[in-house]
Amino acid sequence: MKRIIIYLLASALPLFSGAQDKPILYCGQPEAWEKLMRRNPSAHDEIERATRELEEWTQAYEANRSGGEQEIYIIPVVFHVIHNNGPENISNDQILNALEILNRDFRMQNTDISLVVDAFQDITADVGIEFRLATKDPQGNCSSGINRIVSELTFQGDDEMKDLIYWPRNQYMNVWICADAAGAAGYTNLPANVAFSWLAPQDGIVIRSDYVGAIGTSNSTRSRALTHEVGHWLNLLHTWGSGNSPGISSNCNMDDNVSDTPNTIGWTSCNLSASSCNSTVDNVQNYMEYSYCSRMFTEGQATRMRAALTSTVAQRNQLITTSTHNATGVLNPPLCTADFTADKTNMCIGETVQFTDLSYHGINQWTWNFGDGTILTGSDPDVHRNPQHTYMTPGSYTVTLSVSNGSGDLEVTSADYVLVLNTNELVTPLQDGFEGDWPGDTWSVINYDNVVQWEVTPAASFSGDKSARLRNFNNTVIDATDELISSTFDMSGADTVYIGYKWSYANRLTETDDRFRIFISANCGESWTMLRLRRGSTNLPTADPTNSSFVPSSSSQWGEEVLLVNDPAFMTSSFRVKFELQSKGGNNLYLDDINIWTGDETLVGVSEQDVFNGLVVYPNPAQDELFIDFNLRDAGHVRIELIDLGGRLCLAEERQAQPGEMRFRIPGQTAGMYLLRLSSPAGQTTRRVVFR
């Protein structure tokens, strides 16, 4: 009989950095456990007592087991995806694929079971455990069983990350998916290591996102990582014993407390004829190996895991009760949500939209009404669950999805969900001070967080009475992104495009780092190129910080910039501009006087014909001076400003308006293109001038 090992350290699957012959990275859990022991030295004795208790229970379970058909134990599972909006935010399909593989492996339904070597064919085991996605949360509310939380802790994958969300371990097996599982592919704790209640929130499995399932960011080689970790979670050691260093001869002196797994040094390659510790053949294909050709549990391992699941240690036995199954909704999943999303909702005619069904649970019938007269209905998930649709006529379309699971029906309608544009919707020059209809035909407002969005406000403006505002001060969703997107321009005949705008922003007293970005697109928004990034910590603020909701109080609290686009690739009939704010908990942002024009046009000012009659600017190109000739309709002063294309104010003068020619001296100006702006109480105008 094999000796009992008291295993005080958590186990983990190592991470291969590429092919199997490359170095292995081991988990950081032993170091974390050592820190825990230093902080709580009395925990050592508690773990030792819990380990003995579980081993005694396991031995009794093994001794009393009988033949015949075994009961299938069901474990409710919840997945917590901790992400920072990167590739670690894997799809629901990839998570469900991982759950399917986990169930397949534990029920010995994997097709590669036939490839197990002859020495172990007779002891391959159907563990008799099934894992089902929870359909109710701890409060009894309907749930998809998949939670998503944005946090940079995804790159740590440690206990602090687990503290972000945890569902009671006596009802759910918690699985945290992240970008970096503390340096491993995954890790967990043995039941005895977390037996005491104060460590219950740490009880579960952490796994790297690209080791989840066999699709998406993962692959079939990595797909058994979750199977391996669940083995640890159910009290299995590695096949060589309690260490985490496979391949060393001293491992022959350790054991995994399972009678039918031969002693082994442990393998990081798939040597199927290996016999490392004077045994007949090593069980290299075991899920608790590091060989990456695993495809089986033994009967002894199955008994050990079933014993752990019926033990009171770490409350594992409460997971398999009928009351838990009812509370978590794993027996008869309710149809409780109809929902969908699309990869784009703002596009040009002829573009194809990928719709994705987010409804749950047990959907087997779909009816899509795309709003343009097309209806798709059926029960084939490959055809009807996540369809594509192409819109061929401009307009705003309402989309409806009806779903059924055979016992219930639900429907969801999203009004004006898809906006389809023609090319060349707008003409240049465009000058928008947000004084007219909002958003009208010029702008589309895309709001991802349903908290705040771009709006027109009379609270502040640089010119006129209104501006566009994003009330970011009220935004509680970190990393929420809100977009203001223009319709399409035909720039196909232009050589240069200018984008001018004014903005106003104040940070908070405790500095935050909101991100304000300006993008352009040559293909109607299918892809975007960033022109400018302004950050709350550097070049976005135009006013002093405040912990109040910011409202600009004077023109001095506004910034101004003109961006230049001269790449021929963007001179298309589907040119668009996007203003975007990514919130980091900062303050309000205001936009005003957005101007978009080409190098072949003169930028027309506000009420120019009524204010500056007969305006002439010469010579153009100029050198040291300009002559400005106009008739000002109303008496008063005139402010003359010269602005470079970076938005910097180079020169400014205040003059008393008078009929006739005005001379504006500009000595030593750097050669290039500038904007000459004339402003009076009655209005303003802008001209493009060149200095050589």
pLDDT confidence tier of residue 646, bands split at 50, 70 and 90? low
**Residue ranges per domain, the chain?**
27-236+302-328, 340-421, 430-598, 608-691
Mean pLDDT, range 524-547, rounded to an integer: 95
In the predicted model, is pLDDT for residue 608 greater than 50?
no
Residue pLDDT, tens place only, 6-63: 333 444 444 433 333 333 444 333 444 555 566 667 778 888 899 999 999 999 999 9
Domain 340-421 shares a fold with domain 608-691: yes
| Residue 426: closest CA among 579, 562, 594 | 594
| Residue 612: closest CA among 688, 677, 691, 555 | 677
Mean pLDDT, range 162-180, rounded to an integer: 97
Residue pLDDT, tens place only, 209-240: 999 999 999 999 899 999 999 999 999 999 99
pLDDT of residue 20: 37
Task: Choose between 386 and 474: higher pLDDT.
Answer: 386
Q: Do the Cβ atoms of 504 and 542 come closer than 8 Å?
A: yes
Classify burial at 64, counting beta carbons within 10 Å of its beta carbon; exposed 0-12, middle 13-18, buried 19 or more: exposed
- CATH architecture group of domain 27-236+302-328: 3-Layer(aba) Sandwich (3.40)
- CATH architecture group of domain 340-421: Sandwich (2.60)
In the predicted model, is pLDDT for residue 1 greater than 60?
no
Residue pLDDT, tens place only, 349-400: 999 999 999 999 999 999 999 999 999 999 999 999 999 999 999 999 999 9
Cis, peptide link before residue 541, omega less than 30° from 0: no
Which residues are 11's β-sheet partners? 188
Q: Give the whole-angstrom CA distance, residue 235 versus residue 194.
A: 11
For 430-598, CATH gives 2.60.120.200
- Estimate the crossing angle of helix 29-39 against helix 43-64, to 10 degrees: 120
- E-assigned strands of 570-619? 576-582, 589-598, 612-618
In the predicted model, is pLDDT for residue 91 greater than 70?
yes
Question: What does each C-alpha distance from 623 to 444, 547, 647, 663, 689 come to in angstroms?
Answer: 42, 47, 20, 13, 10
pLDDT confidence tier of residue 631, bands split at 50, 70 and 90? low
Q: Do the Cβ atoms of 643 and 649 come closer than 8 Å?
A: yes
At 39, which helix (H) or strand (E)? helix 29-39
Decide: helix, strand or coil at residue 4: coil
Q: Other CB atoms closer than 10 Å to residue 471's CB: what's the count?
A: 19
Which residues are 400's β-sheet partners? 369, 413
Q: Do the Cβ atoms of 500 and 476 come closer than 8 Å?
A: no
Q: Give the whole-angstrom CA distance, residue 445 versus residue 466.
A: 17
- The catalytic residue positions are 229
> Top-level CATH class of 608-691?
mainly beta
